[in-house]
Structure 1
């Protein structure tokens, strides 16, 4: 049996960041990745200023932004277009994008270079629990099972969270969740410095479809093109996202000079902290596995990077049992905003909502004022320190929704 002070299950952005923070805090760390490094994942690949800010804390922002920088969002639909630059905030005004295969590998190899032990193609299973403490787990590497003893375990194994489920993690699909498909297309506009989102999608018979599309330039000769929709168990989005993706690509082909969509993937995505059983005495679930995704835009990389740092901070603080401390920290840090975002996102599951408000929001002087503010919310760029009117309204609404929906699953 091998022993480590901190074992991190999953080497995506959240897991690799946790390993980096733990190594730099002086811990002996084992980082596990179930597949090869830089596995492809269904993701828009966009990095908001909030995510870039966290990369700065890891010492990696320069390496990422050297390849590509964007200035904000451009939203299209219902006869209008609105440009929403990244606002001046504590996170800065620099956004970026990088394919997940490259981004994840960069973070994982950085963790190894700074001192973590990194095993790829290594699956974690069979957690041994005693009095809520995870005393050991089994890691299968190249067909060989190894028993690993850990003082602390951080679980960052993605949306399916196979290891998290073995610890009792539960995803509540009665709350809003995302469905999405993603592809890569060659494009001569790969260096366009804006992330584009189309909130009006139409089918072959010109009917409005219940979804949205995105095109995120990557600065490498390609764009990330995808589409998604919000869903609940009560109002499932009746949408074939892969079929919609190809239709959307055909609609945008002439304007963007698109090649055929390649490497098409799809996934379901828990959102807004609608996950319970995220901690035990010496283990914590973070990132996508913990539902750390904004329901208003599907962005989760920034939250994953932040949760990684918060998890290591709890370990460094000397806690012996984080069963209640970890969900309490998540609720304090993200609870009001996530509950409000989940409540607002429910409106988008009604097919009549966007056609009713879209023309008002995206046309003329109303859209020019409203959508940049909405983009600030969608990009997670309001901080607790902000004192402007929009920030105060957002926090007030968050407190009201939290009071009204106090029994809603939120990292319980």
Structure 2
């Protein structure tokens, strides 16, 4: 059981304060506490609590969990993606070259509580309450409030998710002219909840039969399934989709094949993506994970980036001024890949693109050749160590797009 830190604790001065105890924040707390920092982890809600998420953990996320020494949902593993749509199905196993070549899925109310428990075991203190009223001296965060308490810290890591209400108070700006996501998800019982593949339906239609720029998913959990959908949007071409109604329609389409029970715990969210965010750091504070738009524009996946940016942020503690250093680090790690993914995702927001490209990609020899590679990209499974043709082509394209789009917002 997770016990909130008492509001009567005398000391409010810590080395590291982390706002938000989702995967990114909890992982940052684990790293910071293990590094010997006195660490305070703040979250608005008591645990366990739910979050809108697909719950999928790709091999990239699993690798980060292995580095943390955390075992997740040992009773269920999956071996890759099955993509359906436009008259075809493509099977894309997780690549065996990746350090962790298996995935899983775990509801966020279990996953987040597991990580928070690990943070507490490492020595981090948990405080339940909403972080508000930041006091700044220039761009240095001096203190903030949690209820009636004032918290002071040498460094502050902000990991309060896609809405990032605390980040907004520090100057976080979301650039919605770049591609972003809207999504809804639910849980349902299914006799196929032990299926070893994650399923994505890339021909996503609304109740009127119009193909939408996104995909539906069914991710087995070993105990029920996570079913959801997401669509891409920009300020110029907003997705005109009621995600909860569309989810009901999608579930009806899949109900017979999956034996789906009634949907429960239906939630929705908007997702900033691909680093389309500015105001992500000050002298002694930085945003990580979803709060910093560290989300893959091609699939909406953010847990792996949340875990990675948590580790990167703790590595940066001690930097004299994070204002420019942190955005520079994010651009060095993810900039080219995110710009390329944003450019590709933007194409999908044009109504004519997907109905023309989808059948070519999903049928016959072209689909069998292209879609496993696309699944590898969607799974964020290309590393700097990869030297194969796809990895080299991806990096070359990323460098080209980065050079052409230097004026686009990318954590600045």
TM over 0.5: yes
Q: Kindly tell me the number of residue pairs found equivalent between the two proteins.
A: 402
Q: 1:259-270 maps to which residues of 2 (within 5 A)? A: 259-270=261-272
Q: 1:212-231 maps to which residues of 2 (within 5 A)? A: 212-220=215-223, 222-231=224-233
Task: Name the residue aligned to 1:363.
Answer: 363
Q: CA deviation at 1:113?
A: 1.5
Q: Matched residues in 2 for 1:348 and 1:212: separation?
A: 11
Q: CA deviation at 1:35?
A: 0.9
Q: Matched residues in 1 for 2:133 and 2:395: separation?
A: 42
Q: 1:272-311 maps to which residues of 2 (within 5 A)? A: 272-311=274-313
Query: Which digits, 9 at most, give the CA deviation of each residue in 1:221-251, with x for residues without a partner?
Result: x100001100000000000110000000000
Gaps of 5+ in 2: 1-10
Query: Which digits, 9 at most, give the CA deviation of each residue in 1:101-137, with x for residues without a partner?
Result: 10011101110111101112x1111111113211111
1:21 aligns with 2:23: no
Q: 1:12-411 maps to which residues of 2 (within 5 A)? A: 12-60=22-70, 63-120=71-128, 122-140=129-147, 145-204=148-207, 206-220=209-223, 222-315=224-317, 318-411=318-411
User: Could you say if the C-alpha distance between residues 327 and 205 of structure 1 is closer, same or farther in structure 2, counting changes exceeding 3 Å?
Assistant: closer
Is the contact between residue 198 and residue 214 of structure 1 (CA under 8 Å) also seen in structure 2?
A: yes
SS at structure 2 position matched to 1:201: coil
Q: CA deviation at 1:89?
A: 2.7
User: Could you say if the C-alpha distance between residues 287 and 205 of structure 1 is closer, same or farther in structure 2, counting changes exceeding 3 Å?
Assistant: closer
Q: Matched residues in 2 for 1:101 and 1:176: separation?
A: 28
Query: Which digits, 9 at most, give the CA deviation of each residue in 1:322-369, with x for residues without a partner?
Result: 111100000000000000000000011112111101111111111111
User: Could you say if the C-alpha distance between residues 365 and 158 of structure 1 is closer, same or farther in structure 2, counting changes exceeding 3 Å?
Assistant: same
Q: CA deviation at 1:68?
A: 1.3
Is the contact between residue 210 and residue 239 of structure 1 (CA under 8 Å) also seen in structure 2?
A: no
Q: CA deviation at 1:65?
A: 4.0
Q: Matched residues in 1 for 2:40 and 2:213: separation?
A: 43
SS at structure 2 position matched to 1:68: coil
User: Could you say if the C-alpha distance between residues 146 and 208 of structure 1 is closer, same or farther in structure 2, counting changes exceeding 3 Å?
Assistant: same
Q: CA deviation at 1:91?
A: 2.9
Q: Matched residues in 1 for 2:56 and 2:273: separation?
A: 17
Q: CA deviation at 1:202?
A: 3.3
| Alignment root-mean-square deviation, CA | 1.1
Query: Which digits, 9 at most, give the CA deviation of each residue in 1:254-308, with x for residues without a partner?
Result: 0000001111000110000000010011001000000000000000000000000
Q: Matched residues in 1 for 2:60 and 2:344: separation?
A: 21
Gaps of 5+ in 1: none
1:7 aligns with 2:17: yes
SS at structure 1 position matched to 2:384: coil
Q: Would you identify which runs of 4 or more consecutive aligned residues in structure 1 move more than 6 Å?
A: none
Is the contact between residue 91 and residue 381 of structure 1 (CA under 8 Å) also seen in structure 2?
A: no
Q: Matched residues in 1 for 2:409 and 2:207: separation?
A: 39
Comparing 253-262 and 38-47, the one that deviates more? 38-47
Q: Matched residues in 2 for 1:125 and 1:13: separation?
A: 21
Q: Matched residues in 2 for 1:294 and 1:383: separation?
A: 14
